[in-house]
Amino acid sequence: PAELAHYKQYTLCINCMLCYAACPIYALDSSFVGPAAIALAQRYNLDSRDQGRNQRQEVIASHEGIWECTFVGECSVVCPKDVDPAAAIQRAKVSSTLDWFKEMMIPRSKGK
């Protein structure tokens, strides 16, 4: 139950795509993964039962992912379910940065 509170917000997305319509980055670059996809990834990344975090992080931390976002925040403003994709993107940026630091401090081969 306590863990549910961390990701419940992201489960409320109804795929209306208003966040994509409001996103100035997506308007300029359609290869940007986009706010809804990143919020969905964040939902699963916060679920301890899920085992796909590393694969998702590779996608959302890529050039077309979270680093394209300039944090205008309009995606969160227009969301009818208050999913707050902008916050999901910022949290994913923090996670990605921590992953990078861990990799630099404790180098491992990618194949393991």
Question: How would you write 30-82 as a 3-class SS string?
Answer: CCCCCHHHHHHHHHHHCCCCCCCHHHHHHHHCCCCCHHHCCCCCHHHHHCCCC
Q: How far is CA 50 from CA 41, 44, 45, 73, in A?
A: 11, 6, 7, 28
Query: pLDDT 10s digit of each residue in the chain, 112 long?
Result: 678 888 899 999 999 999 999 999 999 999 999 999 999 999 999 998 999 999 999 999 999 999 999 999 999 999 999 999 999 999 999 999 999 999 899 876 555 5
Question: What values do phi and psi take at 53, rounded to 5?
Answer: -55, -45
| CATH 1.10.1060.10 given to domain 2-105 | yes
Domain boundary assignment for the chain: 2-105
What residue has token string 């979270």? 66
